[in-house]
Amino acid sequence: MALNRKQQMAIFLTVVLTVYILTNLYLFLKGRRALTGAGYNTTIYTMVFVILASTFVAGKFLEHSYTNVFTDILNVIGGFWLAFMLYGFLIWLVADILLLIQRPFHLIPPASLPGIRLWLFAGISFAAVVLIITGFITAVSPVTTRYDLTTDKRFADGSDSVKIVAVSDVHLGSIIRKRSMRHLSVMINNEKPDIVLFLGDLLDGSIGPVLRDDLLSYLTLPELKYGKYAITGNHEFMSDLKKSIPYIESKGIRMLSDEIVRLDNGLQVAGRTDRTAMQGRPGGRASLDSLLAGADPGAPLILLDHQPYDLSALTGTAVDLQLSGHTHNGQIWPLTLITDSMFELSHGYKLFGRTHVIVSSGFGIWGPRMRLGTRPEILSITLRGKSE
C-alpha cells in the first residue's frame, strides 16, 4: 500500500530528528567526558550545548507560525550548528577510531588519555569554527558562471542568439534576505540578459519570513526583452503553494507548471512542475513525453526542471538545453561526494545526445550559510542559433 505525502513526510521527519538527536548526544558526551576528565565543571557547558542544539529545531518550528527577527536569528545560529555537528561528528569519529586502534598496542599511556581528550575537544571545536568561518565567506561571495552554447535550430525573428540568466536555489527566507536580493540584482543587471529564468527553490521552507518584509521586492531587474519565468522546486512544496505561487507571480515572474511558452523570437521555454508533486499523488506532474508533445521540434527549446534526474532520457528529444539546480553541488564537503554519486550530473555542464544540460550549484543555501568545496553562482548563457 502506497504511503501518502503526509505519511512520507512523517517518516522522513522521524528519521531526521532521530539522527539529529543521536548526533548531538554523541558530541555532548564527547565534550563532557573531555571536560570532566580534566576536572572541569560541566554545568555551563551543558547549558550552552542544549541551547545551541535546540536552535535549529526551534527556528524551523517557530517560523511557520510566528516569524520575526528572533526566529531569523535562531535559524542562522541553527544552520551554523548543523555544520558544527557535521564536522564535529566526523573529526571525533576519526579520533575515536584511532584511539581504539592504538589500545591493544598501548601507544598512549592511560594516564595521558584525559589530557589528550581535552586537547581533542578544544582542537576539534576550533577546527569546526574555522571551517564554518571559511565556508561563510565563500557562501556570501557568489560568482557568475558563463556558457556559450549553440543549437542547430534558427530563431524565428532572424536573430543569432539570446542572452539568458538562470538562477537556482535562492532559498529566500529567514537567512537569505534583503542584502542577498540586492546583490543578486546587481549580478543579473551586469549580464544585460534578454530573459531571466528561476530554476526552483526561489523560496525556502516557509512563506512567512518572505511575506513579512516582502523580500522579493528587493529583487530589481532591468527591462527584459522576453520576461521572467520560474518553476517550482521541492521547497516551494514545503511552503504554502496557494500563497507562494501568487506572491512570486505578483512580482512579474510567470510560474510555468508543465507548460510551454513561445517567445517572440521563437524560443520555447518548457517548465516542469517539480517531481515532489508526484509524492502520494499519481499524475502530479506531466511526463516528459506528454510535455514535449506540445513543442515545435523545429524551434529552439529550453527545458526547466528543478531536480536533475533521468538526464539520459533527454537523448533523442527536441530539447536543446535543460537547466536544473537542486543539488547545491553538495554545498559543503564531503556532502559533495554524495551528490556526485546520486546524479548523472550534480553540477556543471554535460551533453546528453544533442541536448546541453547545465546543473547550477545555486545562489543561496539551505541550513548553514556556508559552502566548502563549491561556490554559489548564477548562470549567464549565450544560446546561439543556426546562422543563415
Give the CA distances from residue 54 to residues 34, 79, 196, in Å, rounded to whole numbers and listed in that order: 22, 11, 39
Compare 129 and 242 and report the one with higher pLDDT: 129
Q: Do 264 and 162 touch, CB atoms closer than 8 A?
A: no
Task: Give domain limits for the chain.
Answer: 5-138, 143-384
User: Which helix (H) or strand (E) element contains residue 88?
Assistant: helix 69-102
The 10s digit of each residue's pLDDT in 350-370 is 999 999 999 999 999 999 999
At position 69, the amino acid (one-letter code) is: V
CATH class, domain 143-384, is alpha beta
> How high does pLDDT run on average in the chain?
92
Confidence of residue 206 (pLDDT cuts 50, 70, 90): confident
At residue 24, does pLDDT exceed 70?
A: yes
The 10s digit of each residue's pLDDT in 120-163 is 999 999 999 999 999 999 999 999 999 999 999 999 888 899 99
User: Which helix (H) or strand (E) element contains residue 163?
Assistant: strand 161-167
Going by C-alpha positions, the residue among 206, 91, 82 that lies closest to residue 135 is: 82
Going by C-alpha positions, the residue among 218, 215, 161, 163 that lies closest to residue 186 is: 218
The 10s digit of each residue's pLDDT in 92-128 is 999 999 999 988 877 888 888 899 999 999 999 999 9
pLDDT of 283 reads 62
- How far is residue 323's CA from residue 308's CA, in Å, rounded to a whole number? 8
Identify the residue whose cell numbers are 543569432.
Answer: 160
pLDDT of 388 reads 59
Segment 309-338 shows an average pLDDT of 95
- How far is residue 21's CA from residue 53's CA, in Å, rounded to a whole number? 9
pLDDT of 134 reads 97
pTM for the model: 0.91
Most confident of 85-89, 101-105, 158-162, 202-206: 85-89
pLDDT of 282 reads 55
